[in-house]
């Protein structure tokens, strides 16, 4: 397979900015962060597209393991879906964007504006689980019986709080992006 090449003056070929006096490297100045509503709309659309990915992967898992009941092999099935989603996101993010991100004119790049490596895309995938794991772990650890509606309200509440915390980041990025050394930016030509 041939390596991907970038045009001579693209963000992928520019050297990273030099660190400032504090030792931190500033973010690329020409990269505009999409608004929170646009990022959340993309996130919601991504979730709808994931339904198809999960459906096909789940069908494949069930057929290969001869699972006859939905609760059989549940932990193996969850691990399989975690890996399948990891492969999906790592592959697309290392190429810049998923289908939902293309639709909403959003790209994911490293903090210098260059395309992600597969390792950085994988790190972003693992860190992105902070959107779901804290409330789910809290529900499980509390042992307090909750209805599905109460669990949903708790999960949606956490997602809303987590999304709003992006307002406190200097470039208004989600915190898992900051931790992974990535950022979401508007795609070129997104405004017509």
Q: Of 123, 99, 128, 98, whose CA–CA distance to 110 is shortest?
A: 123
Q: Among 24-33, 38-47, 103-112, 133-142, whose mean pLDDT is lowest? A: 24-33
pLDDT average, residue stretch 164-169: 84
For residue 187, name the pLDDT band (cuts at 50, 70, 90): confident
Per residue in 82-109, pLDDT (tens digit) is 999 999 999 999 999 999 999 999 999 9
**Does residue 134 surpass a pLDDT of 90?**
no
* CA–CA distances in Å: residue 60 to residues 39, 72, 83, 84, 182: 31, 15, 13, 11, 32
pLDDT average, residue stretch 126-130: 89
Distance CA 57, CA 122 (A): 19
Beta-bridge partners for 185: 107
**Does residue 19 surpass a pLDDT of 60?**
no
Structural domain boundaries of the chain?
Answer: 36-186
20 versus 55: the higher-pLDDT residue is: 55
């Amino acid at each position: 397979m041939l390596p991907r090449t970038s045009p001579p003056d693209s963000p992928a070929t520019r050297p990273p900015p030099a660190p400032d006096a504090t030792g931190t490297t500033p973010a690329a100045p020409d990269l505009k962060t999409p608004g929170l509503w646009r990022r959340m709309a993309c996130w919601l659309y991504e979730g709808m597209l994931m339904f198809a990915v999960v459906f096909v992967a789940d069908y494949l898992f069930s057929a290969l393991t001869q699972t006859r009941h939905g609760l059989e092999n549940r932990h193996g099935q969850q691990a399989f879906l975690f890996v399948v989603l990891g492969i999906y996101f790592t592959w697309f993010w290392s190429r810049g964007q998923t289908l939902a991100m293309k639709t909403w004119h959003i790209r994911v790049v490293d903090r210098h504006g260059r395309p992600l490596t597969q390792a950085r895309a994988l790190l972003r995938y693992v860190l992105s689980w902070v959107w779901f794991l804290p409330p789910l772990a809290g529900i499980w650890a509390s042992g307090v019986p909750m209805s599905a509606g109460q669990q949903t309200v708790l999960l949606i509440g956490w997602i809303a709080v987590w999304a709003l915390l992006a307002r406190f980041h200097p470039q208004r990025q989600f915190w898992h992006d900051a931790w992974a050394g990535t950022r979401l930016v508007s795609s070129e030509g997104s405004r017509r």
